[in-house]
């Protein structure tokens, strides 16, 4: 037995003085220091009583220490469950209960609110702040760095990442050692990452993009990361002269292009810019090349599948497409109902099979079965076609999902909450063009007879319940929702009607 993820990503760097994580004059941590910290965290987890196979939920600011908790989990055979820092307490409660986490690690500022939730769920609670301080750090300081690496099978879980569902209930995507290592290997190869690379890391580390695509790839390549806590335009522009590569969501690139300091000189030395998590507009791709001389390399993936396709490193990076299937990953485009492959050039749903595809949804075997075909292909819900040269071109989504600034928002979750509010008869939530976030959320409500519409009141009622980024940028009222003859709400008409509301 061995521990595929630890042996591939972390172990090779034991004792290395090379800088792994740094951020201006704030911190600089070598691989050896990072792994020693992870070893001490592993021992602290043991002292708390966390065992191999247990789940740990982490909702803290991004920091080297938070990433070291991930490394410690891998080493201890514990399943890592990172949570968006924007989630409210009721949202966190669901994840903790559903996953049966035995430990919750949170920022000291949220401890009072989360402690009763952890206690009720039978979980321990420890704190960790963005500077690496807190009750967990106090425990960690008392430990030694020596820790045995726990054996894991390659199909054992390394992480659970929750994705919202079209039914409104979040599902925990179970990711195995094999899923993560195979994808990191494919990306290092395709994107030519080496130990000479320095990556500008301004993404959150609670999602696939920042945690696996960025951090796992750099660990495997043995490079360094400028590890910034959030995307801050000034800090990113300051750091660009010191890096070889950057990974971002389209909003990063549109914000950079809106700043006159971002020019050819600033990035002439760069090797690679990649984009993903949301569609990169062809016009952004073109403007970026005109400004900098670089063509952004766009790729496509999902929490459930890690990365699926990528534009080529050599060869044409084609605007408006997400390129070709990664090595060992099979992609086909099929009719939604029958599952039959469509003719080349026709639009259908992307289906994917390969070592990158997750093991299923945590404790939801029926949901899992619904999303797979009998021959093992996973149905993504993304609509696409192959262009004349075989590039995958995403044209829309079959699933009712809004992607705003790279974050997923499921209309159903919001509609269920809105429908419960006093005075609301029914609601429909749609995504419309948003200048900064690509898509922004608009909620359309129909009020009960005699009830009056007060946008601020409805918005206020949502505030405590769901993360800020999911909340509608505007709530509007209509006398009735447009429906087709089957009674189904015609969201396309709402999207047309409110197309200019947030642009
Ligand atoms: C922040 N706000 C948002 C978003 N982010 N609203 C809608 N969509 C968003 N994405 C709201 C806040 O609630 C706040 O509202 C206001 O905007 C300003 O918040 P602030 O924190 O200052 O925003 P920011 O720092 O400018 O953040 C924008 C951002 C961030 C940098 C684009 O959202 C971000 O880092 N996005 C990356 C997401 C990501 O990594 N996705 C990968 C998922 P108010 O002012 O009203 O309070 S993984 C994935 O999708 C797959 C696997 C893949 O292929 O990668
Ligand atoms: P998530 O469930 O958060 O992992 O989001 C996955 C979804 O993001 C995919 O199913 C796509 O709809 C979308 N996505 C990711 N990358 C791209 C891309 N390059 N272009 C268009 N959509 C993308």
CATH class for the region spanning 401-497: alpha beta
**DSSP symbol at 211:** I
Q: How far apart are CA 241 and CA 396, in angstroms?
A: 36
Each domain of the chain, given as residue ranges in start order, spans 4-16+29-179, 401-497
4-16+29-179 is classed in which CATH architecture?
3-Layer(aba) Sandwich (3.40)
The secondary element (H helix, E strand) that includes residue 125 is strand 124-127
pLDDT in tens, the chain (503 residues): 699 999 999 999 999 999 999 999 999 999 999 999 999 999 999 999 999 999 999 999 999 999 999 999 999 999 999 999 999 999 999 999 999 999 999 999 999 999 999 999 999 999 999 999 999 999 999 999 999 999 999 999 999 999 976 666 799 999 999 999 999 999 999 999 999 999 999 999 999 999 999 999 999 999 999 999 999 999 999 999 999 999 999 999 999 999 999 999 999 999 999 999 999 999 999 999 999 999 999 999 999 999 999 999 999 999 999 999 999 999 999 999 999 999 989 999 999 999 999 999 999 999 999 999 999 999 999 999 999 999 999 999 999 999 999 999 999 999 999 999 999 999 999 999 999 999 999 999 999 999 999 999 999 999 989 999 999 999 999 999 999 988 899 999 999 999 999 98
pLDDT for the residue numbered 239: 98
Laid out side by side, the sheet with 124-127 consists of 124-127, 103-106, 55-59, 79-82, 157-163, 171-176, 360-361
| 167: Cα separation from own chain's centroid | 20
Q: How far apart are CA 40 and CA 69, in angstroms?
A: 10
Q: What does 270-283 look like in DSSP terms, one character per residue?
A: --EEEE-SSPPPHH
Query: Ligand 1, residues 249, 301, 384: which to mutate, most atoms within 8 A of Cβ?
Result: 249
Is the Cβ–Cβ distance between 367 and 345 less than 8 Å? no
Q: Is the beta carbon of 208 within 6 A of some atom in ligand 2?
A: yes
Residues 6+ apart with CB under 8 A from 363: 98, 172
Distances (CA, A) of 494 to 160, 348, 365, 476, 483: 35, 24, 35, 11, 10
Which two structure tokens, joined as six digits, stand for 18? 């090379």
Closest CA to 408 of 75, 166, 244: 166
pLDDT for the residue numbered 464: 85
Where are any strands of DSSP class E within 347-482? 348-353, 360-361, 378-386, 392-397, 402-404, 407-409, 424-434, 438-447, 474-477
pLDDT for the residue numbered 173: 98
The secondary element (H helix, E strand) that includes residue 39 is helix 31-48
- Asked if domains 4-16+29-179 and 401-497 share a fold, the reply is no
Q: Ligand 1 mean position to 303 CA, how many Å?
A: 17
Distances (CA, A) of 362 to 333, 347, 428: 27, 31, 29
Pocket-forming residues, ligand 1, beta carbon under 6 Å: 203-204, 207-210, 230-231, 249, 251, 276-277, 301-303, 404-407, 437, 468-469
SS3 for 320? coil
Query: Ligand 2, residues 84, 324, 403: which to mutate, most atoms within 8 A of Cβ?
Result: 403
Is the Cβ–Cβ distance between 235 and 263 less than 8 Å? no
Cβ atoms within 10 Å of 201's Cβ, excluding its own: 26
The pairing of beta strand 79-82 with beta strand 306-310: unpaired
Q: How many residues does the chain have?
A: 503
Of the bound ligands, which one is closest to the alpha carbon of residue 299?
A: 2
Query: Ligand 1, residues 407, 441, 443, 475: which to mutate, most atoms within 8 A of Cβ?
Result: 407
Is the Cβ–Cβ distance between 103 and 57 less than 8 Å? yes
Q: How far apart are CA 221 and CA 209, in angstroms?
A: 16
Q: Is the beta carbon of 204 within 6 A of some atom in ligand 2?
A: no
pLDDT for the residue numbered 166: 63
Does the reported pTM lie above 0.85?
Answer: yes
Distances (CA, A) of 160 to 191, 464, 485: 26, 25, 41
């Amino acid at each position: 037995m061995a521990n595929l993820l630890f042996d591939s990503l972390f172990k090779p760097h034991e004792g290395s003085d090379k800088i792994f994580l740094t951020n201006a004059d704030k911190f600089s941590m070598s691989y050896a220091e990072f792994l020693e910290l992870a070893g001490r965290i592993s021992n602290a987890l043991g002292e708390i009583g966390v065992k191999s196979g247990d789940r740990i939920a982490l909702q803290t600011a991004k920091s080297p220490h938070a990433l070291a908790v991930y490394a410690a989990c891998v080493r201890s055979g514990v399943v890592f469950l990172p949570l968006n820092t924007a989630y409210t307490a009721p949202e966190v409660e669901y994840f903790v209960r559903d996953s049966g986490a035995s430990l919750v690690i949170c920022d000291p500022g949220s401890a009072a609110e989360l402690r009763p939730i952890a206690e009720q769920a039978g979980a321990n609670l420890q704190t960790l702040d963005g500077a690496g301080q807190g009750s967990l750090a106090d425990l960690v300081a008392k430990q030694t760095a020596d820790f045995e690496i726990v054996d894991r099978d390659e199909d054992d879980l390394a992480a659970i990442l929750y994705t919202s569902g079209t039914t409104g209930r979040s599902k925990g995507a179970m990711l195995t050692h094999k899923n993560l290592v195979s994808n990191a290997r494919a990306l290092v190869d395709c994107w030519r990452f080496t130990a000479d690379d320095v990556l500008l890391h301004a993404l959150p580390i609670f999602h696939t993009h920042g945690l696996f695509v960025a951090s796992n790839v750099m660990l495997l390549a043995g490079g360094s990361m400028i590890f910034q806590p959030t995307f801050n335009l000034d800090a990113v522009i300051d750091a660009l002269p010191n890096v070889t590569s950057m990974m971002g969501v389209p909003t990063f690139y549109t914000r950079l292009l809106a700043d006159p300091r971002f020019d050819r000189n600033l990035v002439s030395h760069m090797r690679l810019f990649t984009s993903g998590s949301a569609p990169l507009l062809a016009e952004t791709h073109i403007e970026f090349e005109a400004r900098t001389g670089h063509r952004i390399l766009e790729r496509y993936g999902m929490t459930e599948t890690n990365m699926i396709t990528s534009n080529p490193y050599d060869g044409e990076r084609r605007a408006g497409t997400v390129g070709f299937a990664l090595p060992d990953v099979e992609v086909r485009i099929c009719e939604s109902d029958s599952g039959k492959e469509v003719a080349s050039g026709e639009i259908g749903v992307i289906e994917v099979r390969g070592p990158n595809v997750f093991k299923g949804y945590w404790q939801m075997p029926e949901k899992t079965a619904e999303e797979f075909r009998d021959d093992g292909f996973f149905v993504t819900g993304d609509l696409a076609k192959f262009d004349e040269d075989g590039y995958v071109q995403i044209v829309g989504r079959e699933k009712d999902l809004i992607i705003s600034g790279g974050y997923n928002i499921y209309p159903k979750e919001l509609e269920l909450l809105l429908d419960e509010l006093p005075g609301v008869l029914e609601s429909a939530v749609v995504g419309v063009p948003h200048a900064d976030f690509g898509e922004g959320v608009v909620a359309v409500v129909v009020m009960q007879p005699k009830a009056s519409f007060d946008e601020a009141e409805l918005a206020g009622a949502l505030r405590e319940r769901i993360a800020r980024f999911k909340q509608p940028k505007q709530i509007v009222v209509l006398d009735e929702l447009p429906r087709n003859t089957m009674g189904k709400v015609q969201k396309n008409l709402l999207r047309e009607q409110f197309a200019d509301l947030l642009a």
